[in-house]
Amino acid sequence: MRPLQGIKVLTFEHAIAAPFCTRQLADLGARVIKVERPGVGDFARGYDERVSGLASHFVWTNRSKESITLDVKQAEALDVIHALLTDTDVLVQNLAPGAMQRLGLDFDTLRTRYPSLIVCDISGYGLDGPYRDKKAYDLLIQSESGFLSVTGSPDEPAKAGCSIADIAAGMYGYTNILAALLERDRTGRGRHIDVSMLESMVEWMSFPLYYSIADQPPPPRSGAAHATIFPYGPFSAGDGNSVMLGLQNEREWQRFCETVIARPELVCDERFTSNSRRVTHRAALTQIIIDSFASGGAAEVIERLEQAGIANAHINGMREVWRHPQLEARGRWTRIETPAGEIPALYPPGQSAEDAPRMDPVPALGEHTASILSELGFTAAQIETMRSANAV
Domains of the chain: 8-205+330-388 (3.40.50.10540), 232-314 (3.30.1540.10)
Distance between CA atoms of residues 231 and 243, nearest Å? 12
Distance between CA atoms of residues 309 and 252, nearest Å? 8
pLDDT of residue 138: 96
Distance between CA atoms of residues 94 and 71, nearest Å? 17
Determine phi and psi for 265, rounding to 5 degrees. Answer: -65, -20
Give CA separation, 147 vs 94, 150, 199, 204, 230, in Å: 22, 6, 12, 9, 21
Q: What share of the chain is helix, strand, coil (3-state, %, to 5)?
A: 45, 15, 40
How many residues can be counted in the chain? Answer: 392
Give CA separation, 35 vs 61, 81, 95, 368, 374, in Å: 15, 9, 11, 10, 16
Neighbours of 10 (CB within 10 A): 24
Q: For residue 148, is pLDDT > 90? A: yes
Mean pLDDT of 283-291: 96
Instruction: Name the band, by pLDDT with cuts 50, 70 and 90, for residue 354.
Output: confident
List pLDDT tens digits, range 9-59: 999 999 999 999 999 999 999 999 999 999 999 999 999 999 999 999 999
Long-range contacts of 102-106 (CB under 8 A, 24+ apart): 103/72, 103/73, 103/78, 104/78, 105/12, 105/81
Q: For residue 352, is pLDDT > 90? A: no
Q: For residue 254, is pLDDT > 90? A: yes
Comparing 294 with 353, the larger pLDDT belongs to: 294
Distance between CA atoms of residues 3 and 30, nearest Å? 8
Check residue 6 and give left, alpha or beta (phi > 0: left; psi -120 to 50: alpha). left
List pLDDT tens digits, range 163-215: 999 999 999 999 999 999 999 999 999 999 999 999 999 999 999 999 999 99
Q: For residue 353, is pLDDT > 90? A: no
Name the average pLDDT for the chain.
96
Q: For residue 237, is pLDDT > 90? A: yes
Mean pLDDT of 237-256: 95
pLDDT of residue 72: 94
List pLDDT tens digits, range 95-143: 999 999 999 999 999 999 999 999 999 999 999 999 999 999 999 999 9
Mean pLDDT of 67-78: 95
pLDDT of residue 22: 98
Mean pLDDT of 283-296: 95
Neighbours of 206 (CB within 10 A): 9
Mean pLDDT of 337-346: 97
Q: For residue 355, is pLDDT > 90? A: no
Instruction: Name the band, by pLDDT with cuts 50, 70 and 90, for residue 1.
Output: confident
User: Which spans in 130-204 are helix H?
Assistant: 138-144, 164-187, 197-204
Closest CA relative to residue 10, chosen from 378, 381, 372: 372
Whether pTM exceeds 0.85? yes
pLDDT of residue 116: 98
